[in-house]
Amino acid sequence: MQRPFLFFCRPGFENDCAAEVQAFANEYNLPGYANTKLNDGYVRFYVLDQTSEEIFFKELDLSELIFARQWFWAKAELTNLDPADRVTPILEAAGQFGLCQNLLVEHLDNDSGRELSKFCKKISTPLTIACEKQGIVQKAKKLKESELQAELQLHILFMANDHCYLGCSLVGKASNLKGGILRLKSPKDAPSRSSLKLDEAIQVLMSKKQSQAIFRLGHTAVDLGAAPGGWTYQLVQRGMQVTAVDNGPMDKKLMATEHVIHLKENALTWLPQKPVQMLVCDMVEKPSLVAQLMTKWLIQAKTEQAIFNLKLPMKKRFQEVSDCIGDMCDQLDEHEINYYWQAKHLYHDREEITVYFRRKMPKLN
């Protein structure tokens, strides 16, 4: 059997995901090709020889990919599973991969995949118990973190209730969330649903340490294109004092917190007098224009960090994103600014991706 690497993405973004994975393989000179179908919600990537497969597996890191939410190396495919006993053949196949640290029972985020959500939840517990009993998966609950030695994560992806792919990824290099999806509930008093995008971005793109350092009482932020205030709400919830720039009206309850100053200014030209800790921007503008604006703020040290959306209604989205972020990096390099960046097509994003840039400060002795 051919052993494809499977990459999960938002349905409709298969070509962007494939282009990105292909670029990754090319970077390592690994021969391979992608296979996609529009709206499938995943990409198969075939690496052409065994040595290259192993290198690809070791080098892949989800945090470096923008359009993929999850990945694993599918080493077995089971069809016509008997509804009376699906577990036995799954255990036989999974037993060949080596000891795994945990098991994810997953489905895709397309129409047929979502219908399998209940089935996956139901079968997850018996499968986990059986895998632990057989020594395929470590009994995580009984072990301390230092005792978890296995480096593999076991994935079982159900395509139908009688059809699944089995395989593994490396712990820490794929998502430990089913389908790579962080599900969040919209807070009742959030001014807009778009609030969830920033909540997810903070949790996915920033480490706990980075969030703790930046989200503190008294720290300041600017929200460009803020109305009605979903993103500002997230910053205020995390203790920040926010300047919200937008000609549109802000949510009254949010303004009553007295943690927000609303400026009816043009967000493309306005700059603060004092630098802030965090800049966020969710304006519906050309991606290259937003990237330029963020670069200006970072180069002029008007902010330490920036989280922003690049809206991508165009066809070659991966190309557009590469150009925008490439230009940003070139300009920051020219100004000898050290930085870290990561970008992701988040679960709560639609025709857009979310980008995080952080200026790295030199360490003081």
Ligand X SMILES: C[S@@+](CC[C@H](N)C(=O)[O-])C[C@H]1O[C@@H](n2cnc3c(N)ncnc32)[C@H](O)[C@@H]1O
Annotated catalytic residues are: 311
297 binds ligand X (CB under 6 A): no
Q: Which of 41, 113, 179, 230 binds ligand X (CB under 6 A)?
A: 230
For ligand X, which is the closer residue by CB, 34 or 226?
A: 226
CA neighbours within 13 Å on the CB side: how many for 360? 10
Question: Terminal CA-to-CA distance of the chain, rounded, Å?
Answer: 57
99 binds ligand X (CB under 6 A): no
Specify whether the CB–CB gap between 66 and 317 falls below 8 A. Answer: no
For ligand X, which is the closer residue by CB, 81 or 227?
A: 227
Specify whether the CB–CB gap between 237 and 258 falls below 8 A. Answer: no
For ligand X, which is the closer residue by CB, 247 or 257?
A: 247
Task: Report in angstroms the alpha-carbon separations of 314 from 18, 197, 213, 322, 326.
Answer: 16, 21, 36, 13, 18
For ligand X, which is the closer residue by CB, 110 or 288?
A: 288
For 102-117, give the DSSP string: EEEEE--SSHHHHHTH
292 binds ligand X (CB under 6 A): no
For ligand X, which is the closer residue by CB, 32 or 191?
A: 191
> Distance between CA 305 and CA 168 in Å, rounded?
35
Residue 90, both tokens: 């799954």
Taking the complex as a whole, the smallest distance from the CB of residue 195 to ligand X amounts, in Å, to 5
Q: What letter would DSSP give residue 139?
A: -
231 binds ligand X (CB under 6 A): yes
For ligand X, which is the closer residue by CB, 227 or 325?
A: 227
Task: Report in angstroms the alpha-carbon separations of 173 from 8, 170, 284, 288, 298.
Answer: 14, 5, 32, 30, 29
The site map against ligand X for 133-172 (x = CB under 6 A) is ----------------------------------------
The site map against ligand X for 189-228 (x = CB under 6 A) is --xx-xx-----------------------------xxxx
The site map against ligand X for 244-273 (x = CB under 6 A) is -xxxx-----------------xxx-----
Specify whether the CB–CB gap between 194 and 230 falls below 8 A. Answer: yes
Total number of residues binding ligand X (CB under 6 A)?
Answer: 21
For ligand X, which is the closer residue by CB, 19 or 267?
A: 267
**CA torsion sign, 235 to 236 to 241 to 242?**
positive
Choices 25-33, 72-80, 280-288, 334-342 (CB under 6 A): range interacting with ligand X: 280-288
Taking the complex as a whole, the smallest distance from the CB of residue 165 to ligand X amounts, in Å, to 37
| Chain residue whose CB lies nearest ligand X | 230
Task: Report in angstroms the alpha-carbon separations of 193 from 185, 188, 228, 236, 258.
Answer: 10, 10, 10, 16, 22
Task: Report in angstroms the alpha-carbon separations of 327 from 273, 288, 308, 323, 334.
Answer: 26, 9, 15, 6, 11
Task: Report in angstroms the alpha-carbon separations of 216 from 104, 203, 219, 283, 341.
Answer: 35, 16, 6, 25, 22
Taking the complex as a whole, the smallest distance from the CB of residue 351 to ligand X amounts, in Å, to 12
Taking the complex as a whole, the smallest distance from the CB of residue 150 to ligand X amounts, in Å, to 41
Helix (H, G, I), strand (E, B) or coil at 314: coil
Residues 33-62 that bind ligand X (CB under 6 A): none
Q: Which of 4, 41, 113, 229 binds ligand X (CB under 6 A)?
A: 229
**CA torsion sign, 225 to 230 to 231 to 235?**
positive
User: What is the contact surface with ligand X in residues (CB under 6 A)?
Assistant: 191-192, 194-195, 225-231, 245-248, 266-268, 282-284
